[in-house]
Amino acid sequence: VNDVSGGRFDPRILGVTAAAGARYCAMHSRGTPTDMQSHADYDEVLAEVIAELATCLTAAQDAGLDQDRLVADPGIGFAKHAEHNLELLANLDELHALGVPLLVGVSRKSMIGALTGREVPTERLAGSLGALSAAVLAGAAILRVHDVAESLDAVRVADAIRRRRH
């Protein structure tokens, strides 16, 4: 279950997911899809995202989800400006402190467009692959992508490099 609200929209989703024995992905976001960008106000985005995701994951465990069924997503593009997204991606390895696998979705995001000057989302492949590779090097376990074949090639290369690190 990929919950873009981290249990905020309907807390019953946690118990339903636990009862079904499914995996649960808590994504960081603030507000609702229509007003989330007005909630992109952070003093320290990395620390705040980690703390808010930790709260979501604790609520999931309290609802009966075992830690080995949990995944965390920093919510790139959700209630965050481009600078917030870059800060999170540059320090993604610090989210491993949550103790669960990380899911990252950077494919075709507006941040990629802002960095590359590509206004049309379908023209953001190269930038998406760059961000995707950085996420893999930082230990992302699950990736949300659009261009599957190209992304798989990038993941294979980045993962081979990551495994060679000492």
Per the annotation, the verdict on 109 as an active-site residue is yes
Q: Which of 30, 69, 108, 109 is catalytic?
A: 109
Count how many Cα atoms sit within 13 Å of the Cα of residue 87 in the half-sphere of its side chain.
14
Amino acid in position 147: D
Alpha carbon separation from 127 to 20, 40, 86 (Å, rounded): 37, 23, 13
Output the six-digit token pair for 56: 């979501």
> Can you tell me the distance from the alpha carbon of 25 to that of 151, in angstroms, rounded to the nearest whole number?
21
Output the six-digit token pair for 125: 């492949």
> Can you tell me the distance from the alpha carbon of 22 to that of 15, in angstroms, rounded to the nearest whole number?
10
Q: Which of 8, 118, 144, 162 is catalytic?
A: 144
Residue owning tokens 């090097």: 137
Catalytic residue set: 109, 144
